[in-house]
Amino acid sequence: MPTVLILGGTGEARRLASVPLPGYRVISSLAGRVADPVLPAGEVRIGGFGGPDGLTAYLRAERVDVVVDATHPFAAQISANAASACASAGTRLLVLRRPGYAFGGHRVASLREAAALVPSLGERAFLTTGRQSLPYFRGLAMFLLLRCVDPPEDVPSNVEVRLDRGPFTVDGETALLREHRIDVLVTKDSGGALTAAKLDAAQALGIPVVVVDRPPVTPGVPVLSTVDEVRRLLLP
């Protein structure tokens, strides 16, 4: 039976794991970063593979025929590893990536650039860039509201942490921005309707938004934007 490995950690990956793919063995893989992950349906493995060589060995051992890289658009390391391992093992690779936000804002290429820009736009920033982004903003002498799924370590006194994994609504985001008197929002261009409510709320309140652009996808790898497109490609 042909085997599909879904590299996950996103809502799209969970949706793909839950649609019927008759005739396939489907394995979902999670990094194991979140303490209490929402598990996909079906067979799941958790933890890193040990770099591209470890992933190549896994693809061979499990006789994986197709890898669907459905990881977060900013999980650049695992995507690069997947491209390299699939090339080494001769395994077909597809990327499932939701479209980015149709939103201009102040576009920057990196978290470092975002941190440099934020103090010129406001005094109270809302960071929706994840726990691992905190080091980039650590040196800023301003109020920072950081929303993340798991608590970060070593939180400076000017940073308030709000643990929440959503889903978020425009009303909820508006109330949060008002409650903390936020005057600048920072987001990655993650895309997806579930996280877009903050953009609508910020726009309605006239709050500037700093958007960190996505890292590029490995050239030559087919990129699909919906679960249904992947399903249609896999099923005859």
- Residue facing ligand NAP at closest CB distance: 48
Give the C-alpha separation, 231 to 39, whole Å.
20
CB 206, min distance to ligand NAP, A: 27
CB 233, min distance to ligand NAP, A: 20
Between 159 and 195, name the residue whose CB sits nearer to ligand NAP: 195
**Residue among 86, 75, 63, 100 nearest 10 (CA):** 75
Between 77 and 88, name the residue whose CB sits nearer to ligand NAP: 77
| Per-residue buried b or exposed e for 150-163, using 16+ beta carbons within 10 Å of the residue's own CB | eebeeeeeebebee
CB 60, min distance to ligand NAP, A: 15
Between 189 and 229, name the residue whose CB sits nearer to ligand NAP: 189
Give 202's DSSP letter: H
Applying CB under 6 A, the residues found at the interface with ligand NAP are 7-10, 29-31, 33, 48-51, 54-55, 71-72, 74-78, 81, 130
Give the C-alpha separation, 182 to 71, whole Å.
30
List of residues 6+ apart from 220 with CB closer than 8 A: none
CB 9, min distance to ligand NAP, A: 3
51-61 helix and 76-89 helix, angle to the nearest 10 degrees: 50
Q: What is the total residue count of the chain?
A: 236
Q: In whole angstroms, what separates CA 143 from the centre of its chain? A: 25
CB 103, min distance to ligand NAP, A: 17
Between 77 and 174, name the residue whose CB sits nearer to ligand NAP: 77
Between 81 and 91, name the residue whose CB sits nearer to ligand NAP: 81
